[in-house]
């Protein structure tokens, strides 16, 4: 089981600001792209979760901007499971330039909730296989 995934990104014009660099909030979208790819790589799918009336909102986010990325450049997002305790899941990210230089780092923290009530759920109880995979990753990294 891969501990990290790499997701390619081609910077689109609409993702840049007047200075021609990627607008800061777009990195959060790229984090989501990386996170979705990481989860699919493990054999799971957010869409299945949503079909069951469960969503996974971001409850905290941290981003550090190191180097700008510009329109027309290629980048990739490395994504991994930073921490997991059965309720809260934290993913880590590094966005690299095409030459492998770190441009942005960050993490997002998530919980899962019922879509209609926003009542928190335990990933362990709602998705035992997902829980097992995350526990194995965390154990392997200890």
Buried b (16+ CB within 10 A) or exposed e, 41-63: ebebeeeebeeeebbbeeeeeeb
**Average pLDDT, integer, range 1-25:** 88
Mean per-residue pLDDT of the chain: 93
Is 30 exposed, middle or buried (CB count within 10 Å of its CB: 0-12, 13-18, 19+)?
buried
Q: Which domains does the chain have, with CATH numbers?
A: 4-137 (3.10.129.10)
Q: What is the pLDDT of residues 23-72, one digit of tens each?
A: 999 999 999 999 999 999 999 998 999 999 999 999 999 999 999 999 99
pTM: 0.93
At residue 108, does pLDDT exceed 80?
yes
Q: Which pLDDT score, from 0 to 100, does residue 1 have?
A: 45
Distance, in Å, from the CA atom of 38 to the CA atom of 142, rounded to the nearest integer, reads 19
**C-alpha span between 114 and 54 (Å, rounded):** 5
- Active site members: 17
């Amino acid at each position: 089981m891969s501990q990290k995934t790499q997701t390619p990104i081609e910077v689109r014009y609409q993702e840049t600001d007047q200075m021609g660099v990627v607008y800061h909030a777009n990195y959060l979208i790229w984090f989501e792209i990386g996170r979705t790819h990481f989860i699919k790589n493990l054999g799971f799918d957010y869409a299945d979760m949503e079909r069951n009336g469960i969503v996974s909102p971001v409850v905290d986010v941290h981003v550090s901007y190191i180097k700008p990325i510009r329109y027309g450049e290629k980048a990739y997002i490395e994504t991994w499971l930073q921490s997991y305790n059965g309720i809260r899941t934290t993913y880590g990210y590094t966005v690299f330039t095409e030459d492998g230089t770190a441009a942005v780092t960050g993490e997002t923290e998530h919980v899962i909730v019922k879509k209609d009530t926003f009542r928190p759920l335990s990933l362990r109880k709602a998705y035992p296989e997902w829980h097992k995979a995350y526990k194995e990753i965390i154990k392997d990294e200890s």
